[in-house]
């Protein structure tokens, strides 16, 4: 048997996209929201002495969702100054109350121990048996300490479960329905599961009175400590502004909401005079980095603006019609319209916001898939958003004493030329936060 090995040299030409560090950062910069972009550019300025970083100037009262605008073109307020002051944490707030109201005793020591186990929502995350074992106290002493914790503000803090949290809030409220506390204590599960006939028989009250108790409990908070959470992320900076002028939509980029960079020419010239080879090499690298960053920021702004214009062109009804209808629209349609990849469109809309005179909206809100073969009366393809609007309208108009079942909603939607399954109705209902028909039923109508 003869084995042969043949070796030969061949040249083969292939094309590959080399993901350089700068290319990766360019992609990342497009994906950044306004706050992340500012932090990134600021960090680059700290590393590069040739970059003069100018913080964005934008004043807004916007929080996530939609709000009204108080923006003025002449406003010189730094947008960072609009971020609320960092308030004390829940733990600090509780600690201050303990030191102010309770004398320095062994019981206060146990109270301070329990505070260590209050989570951000205000709930106690340890049990009294374990706390007693760790501190050497008796369970009665730990219970007394917990009672003192539960007397602190906010009402409901120190609860061990949702039921106790609601009971603590009800106990302090002079305007709570008369039987609210006792119903929570003895029939919490039945109340939550809407087995109200059991409650009416035990307490000899009407369904209307149970309804009032249920409505009251809906006004209580299940997370009393959440108000001390970090609110800095609630503030957003719109990337694009849309104005209606003479029945025309004017789309502009929000320059004031973006960080600016300038070249430190004087510093560059002064260092250049050193005529040092290593210094000159360093200056060249930092100058190239500045030029790259400046170019990337411009490209980011242009890309987001072009994507926004393409979206607005296809969603004009949203800006003129007060019902704010959204047409079916996909990433692919926008990518083909402006000649970029779908991933570029996706990065351009996630975390980017559009400002109007009636609120602020995330760009990705305007994308919704076509719903099968359904069409509106004028022949336009229906979007999931428009179907949800129709579903919401039907629920809003229903008889609350006899709410519509999912099957009945299917039939009523079909009368509007919207042919969807009961499962789809249930899915959209869940997405809209609409409870099932049995849980929507009210007894005060």
Tell me, what's the pLDDT at 246?
84
**Quick check: 149 pLDDT over 70?**
yes
Residue 295's pLDDT band (cuts 50, 70, 90):
very high
Question: Which residues in the chain are classed under CATH 1.10.10.60?
Answer: 371-440
Q: Which of 19-23, 49-53, 100-104, 111-115 has the lowest mean pLDDT?
A: 19-23
pLDDT attached to residue 77: 41
**What average pLDDT does the segment 134-160 reach?**
91
Q: Is the confidence at residue 161, as pLDDT, over 90? A: yes
- Answer yes or no: is pLDDT of 13 > 50: yes
End-to-end CA distance of the chain: 97
Torsions phi, psi for 222 (to 5 deg): -80, -10
Taking Cα atoms as reference points, which of 180, 111, 99 lies closest to residue 147? 111
pLDDT of residue 412: 87
d(CA 297, CA 286): 16
Helix (H) or strand (E) holding 240: strand 240-245
Burial (Cβ within 10 Å: 0-12, 13-18, ≥19) of residue 34: buried
| Whether the Cβ atoms of residue 362 and residue 307 lie closer than 8 Å to each other | no
Cβ-based neighbour number of residue 145 at 10 Å: 27
Q: Is the pLDDT of residue 169 over 90?
A: yes
Average pLDDT, the chain: 82
Statement: residue 444 has pLDDT above 80 = no
CA–CA distance, 128 with 114 (Å, rounded to integer): 9
For the stretch 58-75, pLDDT in tens is: 544 444 444 333 334 444
pLDDT of residue 75: 42
Asked whether 342 and 332 are in contact (CB, 8 A), the reply is yes
CATH class of 371-440: mainly alpha
Q: Which helix (H) or strand (E) holds 362?
A: strand 359-362
Confidence (pTM):
0.56
CB 105 within 8 A of CB 244: no
Summarised one tens digit per residue, pLDDT across range 351-405 is 899 999 888 899 988 887 666 555 554 445 567 777 888 888 888 888 888 888 8
Average pLDDT (138-167) is 92
d(CA 246, CA 249): 8
Structure-token match 């996209």, residue found: 17
Rg of the chain (C-alpha set): 31
| Strand-pair partners of 360 | 355
- The reported pLDDT for the residue numbered 367 is 85
Nearest to 71 by CA among 343, 360, 350: 360
* 303: pLDDT strictly greater than 90: yes
pLDDT in tens, 394-432: 888 888 888 888 888 888 888 888 888 888 888 888 888
User: What per-residue confidence (pLDDT) applies to 290?
Assistant: 92
């Amino acid at each position: 048997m003869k084995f042969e090995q043949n070796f030969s040299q061949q040249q083969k030409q292939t094309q590959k996209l080399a993901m350089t560090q700068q290319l990766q950062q360019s992609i990342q910069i497009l994906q950044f929201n306004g706050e992340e972009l500012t932090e990134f550019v600021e960090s680059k300025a700290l590393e590069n002495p040739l970059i003069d970083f100018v913080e964005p100037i934008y004043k807004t009262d916007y929080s996530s969702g939609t709000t009204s605008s108080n923006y003025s073109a002449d406003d010189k307020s730094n947008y960072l100054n609009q971020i609320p002051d960092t308030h004390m944490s829940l733990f600090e707030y509780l600690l201050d109350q303990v030191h102010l109201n309770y004398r320095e005793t062994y019981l206060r020591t146990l109270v301070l121990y329990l505070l260590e186990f209050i989570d951000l929502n205000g709930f106690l995350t340890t049990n009294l048996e374990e706390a007693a074992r760790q501190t050497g106290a008796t369970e009665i002493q730990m219970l007394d300490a917990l009672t003192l914790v539960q007397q602190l503000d906010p009402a409901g803090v120190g609860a061990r479960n949702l039921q106790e949290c609601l009971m603590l809030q009800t106990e302090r409220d002079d305007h709570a329905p008369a039987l609210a506390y006792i119903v929570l204590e003895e029939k919490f599960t039945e109340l939550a599961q809407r087995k109200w006939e059991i409650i009416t028989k035990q307490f000899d009250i009407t369904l209307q009175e149970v309804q009032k108790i249920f409505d009251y409990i809906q006004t209580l908070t299940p997370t009393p400590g959440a108000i001390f959470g970090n609110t800095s992320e609630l503030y957003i900076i719109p990337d694009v502004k849309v104005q209606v002028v003479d029945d025309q939509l004017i789309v502009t980029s929000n320059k004031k909401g973006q960080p600016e960079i300038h070249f430190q020419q004087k510093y560059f010239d002064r260092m250049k005079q050193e005529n040092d080879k290593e210094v000159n090499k360093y200056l060249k690298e930092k100058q190239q980095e500045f030029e790259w960053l400046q170019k990337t920021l411009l490209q980011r702004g242009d890309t987001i603006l072009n994507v926004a214009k393409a979206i607005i062109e296809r969603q004009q009804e949203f800006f003129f019609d007060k019902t704010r209808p959204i047409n079916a629209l996909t990433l692919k349609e926008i990518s083909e319209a402006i000649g970029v990849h779908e991933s570029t469109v996706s990065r351009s809309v996630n975390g980017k916001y559009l400002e109007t005179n009636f609120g602020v909206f995330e760009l990705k809100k305007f994308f919704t898939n076509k719903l099968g073969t359904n069409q509106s009366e004028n022949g336009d393809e229906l979007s999931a958003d428009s179907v949800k609007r129709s579903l919401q309208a039907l629920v809003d108009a229903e008889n609350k004493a006899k709410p519509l079942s999912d099957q009945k909603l299917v039939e009523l939607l079909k009368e509007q030329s919207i042919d969807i399954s009961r499962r789809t109705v249930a899915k959209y209902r869940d997405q809209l936060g609409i409870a099932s028909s049995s849980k929507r039923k009210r007894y005060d109508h």
